[in-house]
Amino acid sequence: MMTSSNSLNATDLRDRLQTLASREGIRRWDLGAACSDDCSVQVDRGEAKQLKASQRSSITLRVWNNDGLVGITSTTDLSDGGLEQALVGAHAASQFGNPEEIPQFSPLATAPLPELERPLQPRQGILPLLDTLRDAEADLLGRHPAIQTVPYNGLAESLSQSLYLNSDGALRQMERTQASLYLYARAEESGRKPRSGGAVRLSLGSSGLDVQGCINEAVDRTISHLDYRPIETGSYRVCFTPEAFLSLLGAFSSMFNARSVLDGVSLSQRDSIGSDVAVPFFNLHDNGLHPGHISAATFDGEGTPTRRLSLIEGGTLRNFLHSEATARAFGVEPTGHAGLGAKVSVGPDWFVVGSHPQVSTRNNLDHRTESGPFVLIEDLSALHAGVKATQGSFSLPFDGWLVNNGERVSVEAATVAGDIRSVLNGIAHLESDAEVTHRGVSPHVWVDGLSITGEA
Amino acid sequence: MTNAFSNQWRGLLESLLHRGSAAGANLVEVFLERTDHIGLLAEQDQITSVNPSFARGAGLRVFRSGRDGFVSTNDLSEAGLMRALDQALAMLGLEPQQLTMPTAFEGLKGLTDHGLAKADWLERCPSLDQAGQCLLHGTAHLERLGQHLQVRRGSYARDWQEVLVAASDGTFARDIRLHQSTGLSVLAANGDHRSSIGRRYGSSDRPDDLRDWDSEASAAEVCNSAGTMLRADYVDAGQMPAVLANRFGGVIFHEACGHLLETTQIERGTTPFADRVGELIAHPAVTAIDEGLSGGSFGSLSMDDEGMEPERTVLIKDGVLQRFISDRAGELRTGHKRTGSGRRQSHAYAAASRMRNTFIDAGSHTPEQLIESVDQGLYCKAMGGGSVGPTGQFNFSVEEGYLIENGKLTKPVKGATLIGDAKEVMPRISMCANDLELAAGFCGSVSGSVFVTVGQPHIKVDSITVGGR
């Protein structure tokens, strides 16, 4: 159990809730609960900028009324009074439950859970974190005279607990520790525009963070862009880094989301399974249990076990991500991708992009040796604003390089625009080396004919 | 302790503030919060989601020598609050002392209770049933007024918040806030053409706001836009003049310039305007204001989250930088006086200098004069979202755009993104029209997501990069 002043006692919570539910005449309910104990530090030129800690707990409670309709409430007040308020609130909300789509308990809420090797790591406490981040900032600032500040930085560690309970006796719980470090530096040379770049590292515990790797990457991503040039507007062959490609794919994850399909806001339709959506050498899985996924959980918001799921195999759409309700609508099993709600949300865990082993790309492109011309896109920004997920289109600012005649030049402010369906069907090559990033796993991905707008 | 925040909390709060001061803190602040939220979603002609939620918690902040430690907790018991305070003190190397010696803390002032006249606001808000009916009227209007609509949605959120702020400088203030927002959105599809359009409307401190909402007019606005954009072609990229419509067009000033005028940006060294008070940073046509006073506006406040009453802050006057938006920490670390702008999403965040109702002031031209002054350019009737990076680079999607050709609006265009840099674009805002209007929005930043208003009249930017295909 959590070694913290802030922890949930699953059986106590269940017993209290059962008593209160009986008193209110509620026979069917389930709940998701979470609590966390975390601390974080930020620094500014050697000084502690802000030191933060929090103890949080919350529950989300669903109840089924006598007409079978569902209501939901969330609260951070876990006192008896708070739980009662939540039960009454959920019961009141159930009067407005949607009779056309009534969620049920997941049929897999008591199925065996997968093994997940994520040992809890000891926490260091806030003052050692501060020392580590101060040292990291000083190291980064000392790497190049143009780096004047590290305006966005943070080192955090947390211990968290998740629970799922229902009135049929399901009881899931898990604990995890996690640490994160981010360093975003700002560099400026006289008469030139400031440039910024950064890096992120995640780990199960703060002592396991790759601090040096984070510093090196932040320095490289900042300094390598100091000598920039504008790029001419036009159509380019593009190579996405693994992180950039995963960002783009994530922004269009509604393509694989059964909830979005049923709601009519996905590029996919109910009958899209089996259709070709990408080049034949493209594979995509969602694997929340991947060893590189630091935030892995063994069950989702409805208690369904997490599992590896093939989404695209050989360019063909194979599966959607499901909750209990969407799985029932499609006649399949829940896939372990649900939240908890009156209208349950569905989302991906951890994308793994790869090549189909039996299909060749007939290309042998390598971003390290290709002489160009091509644009290497390192990082995409403003995905929340520049992506129209329901239309498939995107127009996004990026950091990257124009590679031409073997020369690599950083690109001044520019955007890349296209359509995700064209991207998936226009992939020219997937490099052989897949990289584990904090977003998922992917190789460098080459796409032909993307529009780039520059200021040249 | 009762659920409501009141003078009953004085004793416990003074104990906490004494304890922190005795330990050597320069300033101790306690922020208590209770919230009651409801969210509703209507899809097509059905209410598909009703989400009530309740929260309570405290944020405790301790300052010493320019540094601060912040702890948040859901535990409002005396023991829980003491534990949180001690944790915040320990972050700064301070330890609780026996209270045998007098401290600089002289006790809390009398309670300034902004919430007194607002006690019945929650009860006066629409019931779930009434709110649901309003949304269903909205989606029914969409069905009647729209064409090729694949998805019709209406949403409503009601956020009620009670806060109590106590600090060792004597600050003791309570407030009740009420924010309501409604939105309508559609996805239109015709063959391979799709358009998704949404509009949001929001207010503060008006319990009857939803009842007064003209859902038919809102639906007409959304349907007109969706129908127009369904037949739009992609815009050609390039440098061109642009005219940005009023209301939500102000999001560009908010993101690209407003954030750079928050003292948090001075602290970070990420604003190019840090040392430029009194200098020309924008075209002389530009006067910009941030205030928390406009009645009913989404960003208005009776007091900020540090207990200070808001004021009207002229940021830029005739192109000259006048003031920065500042909070308690900003004043301490940068010297810019507080402006009643210390804001946070919830008790889980320390307050920071944040915008409230921020807008470019009206000019003397008519909107038509701005358009007539452009030979070839882009008219941005409705803006989508956007962001600004750590170097001041911004980008915004244009939700509804039109070409301007020979001084007249012609074809609708989609896929446009405005890209630029505040420092370069501000001097290019050469004309402001006389039709200032505000629009509600949410702003996410260092202290979480807060309710804000953006706004402007129609403005003309002489040259801006337009991303497209």
CA gap B201, B216 in Å, rounded: 13
Same domain, B271 and B398: yes
**Chain A stretch 249-268, residues whose beta carbon is closer than 8 A to a beta carbon of chain B:** 263-265
Lowest-confidence region among A161-165, B249-253, B350-354, B378-382: B249-253
- Residue at B459 is within a domain: yes
C-alpha distances out from residue B159 to B36, B256, B424, Å:
6, 28, 38
Same domain, B276 and B207: no
**Chain B stretch 267-286, residues whose beta carbon is closer than 8 A to a beta carbon of chain A:** 267-270
Task: For residue B1, name the pLDDT band (cuts at 50, 70, 90).
Answer: very low
A80 in reach of chain B (CB within 8 A):
no
Query: Which of B268, B400, B423, B425 to mutate against chain A (most A CBs within 10 Å)?
Result: B268
Please state, rounded to an integer, the average pLDDT across all residues of chain A.
Answer: 93
Whether A53 and B128 lie within 8 Å, measured CB to CB: no
Tell me, what's the pLDDT at B331? 96
Whether A73 and B54 lie within 8 Å, measured CB to CB: yes
Please state, rounded to an integer, the average pLDDT across all residues of chain B.
Answer: 94
Same domain, B461 and B362: yes
Tell me, what's the pLDDT at A79? 86
Tell me, what's the pLDDT at B11? 97
Residues in chain A: 456
Q: What digits encode the pLDDT tens for the residues A115-151?
A: 998 999 999 999 999 999 999 999 999 999 999 999 9
Q: Is the pLDDT of residue A53 over 60?
A: yes
A438 in reach of chain B (CB within 8 A):
no
Q: To the nearest whole angstrom, how far is the Cα of B252 from the nearest Cα of chain A? A: 12
A76 vs B51, B56, B195: nearest CB: B56
C-alpha distances out from residue A281 to A157, A351, A426, Å:
40, 16, 11
Tell me, what's the pLDDT at B419? 86
Which CATH number does the domain housing residue B155 bear? 3.30.160
Same domain, B95 and B132: no
Sign of the CA dihedral B288, B294, B296, B300?
Answer: positive
- Residue at B461 is within a domain: yes
Task: Work out how many domains chain B is built from and give that number.
Answer: 3
B270 vs A186, A382, A396: nearest CB: A186
Percentage of chain B modeled with pLDDT above 90: 86
Q: Is the pLDDT of residue B102 over 80?
A: no
Q: Is the pLDDT of residue A1 over 80?
A: no
Same domain, B296 and B420: yes
- Residue at B245 is within a domain: yes
Helices A80-94 & A10-24 angle (0-180, nearest 10): 50
Tell me, what's the pLDDT at B139? 98
Lowest-confidence region among A247-261, A291-305, A378-392, B347-361: A378-392
CA-closest candidate to residue B131, choices B36, B203, B223, B213? B213
What SS3 class is residue B375? coil
Task: For residue A58, name the pLDDT band (cuts at 50, 70, 90).
Answer: very high
Same domain, B248 and B372: yes
Query: In degrees rounded to 5, what are phi and psi of residue B194?
Result: -135, 150
How big is the CA angle at A12 (ends B86 and A205), to the nearest 5 degrees? 50
Q: Is the pLDDT of residue B55 over 50?
A: yes
Q: What digits encode the pLDDT tens for the residues A190-236?
A: 888 888 899 999 999 999 999 999 999 999 999 999 999 999 989 99
Closest chain A residue to B38, measured at CA: A73
CA-closest candidate to residue B141, choices B152, B155, B131? B152
Q: B98: exposed, middle or buried (C-beta count within 10 Å: 0-12, 13-18, 19+)?
A: exposed
Give A30's Cβ-side CA count (13 Å radius).
Answer: 24
Same domain, B69 and B140: no
B91 vs A78, A126, A196: nearest CB: A126
**Chain B stretch 32-51, residues whose beta carbon is closer than 8 A to a beta carbon of chain A:** 40-41, 43, 46-51
Query: In degrees rounded to 5, what are phi and psi of residue A13?
Result: -60, -45
Whether A52 and B70 lie within 8 Å, measured CB to CB: yes
With beta carbons less than 8 A apart as the criterion, state whether B163 and B305 touch: yes
B390 vs A53, A186, A393: nearest CB: A186
Same domain, B419 and B315: yes
A96 in reach of chain B (CB within 8 A):
yes
Q: What digits encode the pLDDT tens for the residues B181-192?
A: 999 999 999 988
Task: For residue B99, name the pLDDT band (cuts at 50, 70, 90).
Answer: low
Q: What digits encode the pLDDT tens for the residues B121-180?
A: 999 999 999 999 999 999 999 999 999 999 999 999 999 999 999 999 999 999 999 999
Same domain, B193 and B96: no
Q: Is the pLDDT of residue A3 over 90?
A: no
Tell me, what's the pLDDT at B393? 81
Lowest-confidence region among B228-237, B298-307, B338-347: B228-237
Task: For residue A454, name the pLDDT band (cuts at 50, 70, 90).
Answer: confident
B77 in reach of chain A (CB within 8 A):
no
Note the ipTM here. 0.88
Average pLDDT over residues B378-405: 88
Domains and CATH numbers, chain A: 10-221 (3.30.2290.10), 227-456 (no CATH)
- Residue at B134 is within a domain: yes
A385 vs B51, B71, B384: nearest CB: B384
Lowest-confidence region among A369-373, B182-186, B417-421: B417-421
Tell me, what's the pLDDT at A2? 44
Containing domain of residue B31, as a range?
7-37+54-113
Average pLDDT over residues A71-91: 91
- Residue at B48 is within a domain: no
Same domain, B185 and B217: yes
Query: In degrees rounded to 5, what are phi and psi of residue A377?
Result: -95, 115
Average pLDDT over residues A251-269: 96
Same domain, B212 and B249: no
Q: Using an 8 Å CB-CB cutoff, list chain B residues near A6.
A: 73, 75
- Residue at B377 is within a domain: yes
What is the pTM assigned to this prediction?
0.92
Q: Is the pLDDT of residue A5 over 70?
A: no
- Residue at B47 is within a domain: no
Whether B419 and A415 lie within 8 Å, measured CB to CB: yes
Query: In degrees rounded to 5, what are phi and psi of residue A139?
Result: -60, -45
CA-closest candidate to residue A170, choices A72, A300, A37? A300
Tell me, what's the pLDDT at A456? 65
Q: Using an 8 Å CB-CB cutoff, list chain A residues near B68.
A: 50-51
Same domain, B135 and B104: no
Choosing from B91, B113, B135, the residue where a domain stops is B113
Percentage of chain A modeled with pLDDT above 70: 98
Average pLDDT over residues A328-334: 97
- Residue at B269 is within a domain: yes
Q: Using an 8 Å CB-CB cutoff, list chain B residues near A186.
A: 269-270, 390-391
Tell me, what's the pLDDT at A6? 63
Tell me, what's the pLDDT at A36? 95
Q: Is the pLDDT of residue A4 over 60?
A: no
Task: For residue B461, name the pLDDT band (cuts at 50, 70, 90).
Answer: very high
CA-closest candidate to residue B244, choices B159, B363, B353? B363
Tell me, what's the pLDDT at B177? 97
Q: What digits encode the pLDDT tens for the residues A268-326?
A: 999 999 999 999 999 999 999 999 999 999 999 999 999 999 999 999 999 999 999 99
CA gap A67, A97 in Å, rounded: 10
